[in-house]
Amino acid sequence: MFIALCLTSAAFAKTCTVDVVNLRWDGGAVRFQSEVVDTVEERAQGLMHRESMARYSGMLFVYDRPQPVAFWMENTLIPLDMLFFDSAGRLQHIHENAVPLDRTSIYGGESIQYVLEINGGMAAKLRIPEGAEIQHPSILNEFAAWPCKEMQ
């Protein structure tokens, strides 16, 4: 069994804060320190112009409703993995190692509400599979796959 950061998903459930994104799947779990972007302006800026990002860090893009989502890497200087989640917080698609400064559209899916960007190569290194579940206070609906039980 692979557990990143040596924590169980039960331990993760006790730390549901806005600056942390928890992921779990059969055989693994990981926690990322995360910035949340939930306005049009913040989402448009994303991780542009940043020269680095800490290893277990990321940016969580939160949309008001499920929708078709596509990203590009214009003005983004570091390779990224993009994890696309539905409204319940289930991972629907992974785009690995998006190329810095590339203007090619990266399509995430039709009904995406959350996107987590992490350092390129981390999804494969951690063996994060499609179907993994995300936990974050932004996922407030009654159908959340992994709801926050305690807010801190």
Over 70: is that where the pLDDT of 10 sits?
A: no
Q: Are 22 and 60 in contact (CB under 8 A)?
A: no
Q: How many angstroms separate the CA atoms of 141 and 73, rounded?
A: 30
Percent share of the chain, pLDDT over 70: 88
Q: pTM of this prediction?
A: 0.90
What is the chain written as a DSSP string?
---GGG--HHHHHT-B-TTEEEEEETTEEEEEEEEEE-SHHHHHHTTTT-----TTEEEEEEEEEEEEEEE--TT--S-EEEEEE-TTSBEEEEEEEEPTT----EEEEEEEEEEEEEETTHHHHHTPPTT-EEE-TT--STT-SS--SSB-
pLDDT of residue 5: 47
Q: Are 67 and 111 in contact (CB under 8 A)?
A: yes
User: What average pLDDT does the segment 101-125 reach?
Assistant: 98
pLDDT-derived band of residue 12, with 50, 70 and 90 as boundaries? low
The amino acid that residue 83 corresponds to is L
Over 90: is that where the pLDDT of 67 sits?
A: yes
Over 80: is that where the pLDDT of 114 sits?
A: yes
pLDDT of residue 141: 79
pLDDT of residue 56: 98
pLDDT-derived band of residue 11, with 50, 70 and 90 as boundaries? low
Over 70: is that where the pLDDT of 109 sits?
A: yes
pLDDT of residue 149: 81
| Domain 4-135 CATH (choose: 3.40.50.20, 2.40.320.10, 2.60.120.1140, 3.40.50.1260) | 2.60.120.1140
pLDDT-derived band of residue 2, with 50, 70 and 90 as boundaries? very low
Domain boundaries of the chain, sorted by first residue? 4-135
pLDDT of residue 152: 45
Over 90: is that where the pLDDT of 24 sits?
A: yes
